[in-house]
Structure 1
């Protein structure tokens, strides 16, 4: 199967969007874009630096701009930031310009993954609460947006290879309108 359309990966931080996205892009022989990396490249600073200097609203503006920039490129796999679904215009852009895949991972597994992740500097706290409390609060607020935005939902607790296998099968068999 070749990459004939844009595929947007959504889900909470730590769900595996970047790892799955890289592998999926390889299997589909197409490009890969991580909107957080693109955003940092476009702004010349990290997510943390943007948030610290200008706040979350300004960061969300930059995030939307990165999504639009990624969407202007040819069909590819696009890993989005965890909060991309917070803005309705972002959800509309993704649904109208490609296939949206939600990588669903329960809070306990997200906490385990994020506790082991050395990239905390790239992921500033949204609430100032403990990691587990923050994950529960943020996921409770966003879960319905991930689900409503998605054309496809996959189990993100499996290995990257199994998740990509599942996505490939669903892309071949599930009609997307």
Structure 2
């Protein structure tokens, strides 16, 4: 079975880490939409937001999603990909969507441990714990509505990978 697999979730949920591991396990190629945009435009997320605003970034993000989607690939999406109903519908219709769910405290701790300001501009200007809590609360239902499966991403990446592989096996 060759299907498109989409990873959605908040910043630091592990979409890239788990997505790469899942792609390796399935012998699928892997693409991260944020990295794809960086590689094709030579602009970081922060650069695009500064020059085009969040609206311009979201437009580019949607274009990237459609460009990289093909059978037999794992796609890690940006944390805000689900803000567009069109993107949520597109992913659900064109593949299997995994929501990597983790509490705000876990996500904030990961962001503080591995800061990447050039890649991840602040959305609110608030301290990271507050921002993550606020953004997660606003997006939780969107992640869930996009997802076919919800994975507990607060555990070790290897355990999340096992969850995903078991669900895919049941789905086959």
TM-score, normalised relative to structure 1? 0.94
| Mapping for residues 22-171 of structure 1, pairs under 5 Å | 22-71=20-69, 73-171=70-168
1:53 Cα deviation from its structure 2 partner: 1.0
What secondary structure, in the 3-state scheme, does the structure 1 residue paired with 2:24 have?
helix
1:42 Cα deviation from its structure 2 partner: 2.4
Give the distance between the partners of 2:132 and 2:116, measured in 1 at CA: 16
Give the distance between the partners of 1:77 and 1:132, measured in 2 at CA: 29
1:129 Cα deviation from its structure 2 partner: 0.9
What secondary structure, in the 3-state scheme, does the structure 1 residue paired with 2:118 have?
helix
More displaced stretch, 41-50 vs 12-21: 41-50
Unaligned runs of 5+ in 1: none
What secondary structure, in the 3-state scheme, does the structure 2 residue paired with 1:121 have?
coil
1:44 Cα deviation from its structure 2 partner: 2.2
Unaligned runs of 5+ in 2: none
1:85-132 deviation per Cα after TM superposition (whole angstroms, max 9, x unaligned) = 000110011001000000000000001000011322210000111111
1:172 Cα deviation from its structure 2 partner: 1.1
Aligned length: 172
TM-score, normalised relative to structure 2? 0.97
Instruction: Find runs of 4+ consecutive structure 1 residues off by over 4 angstroms.
Output: none
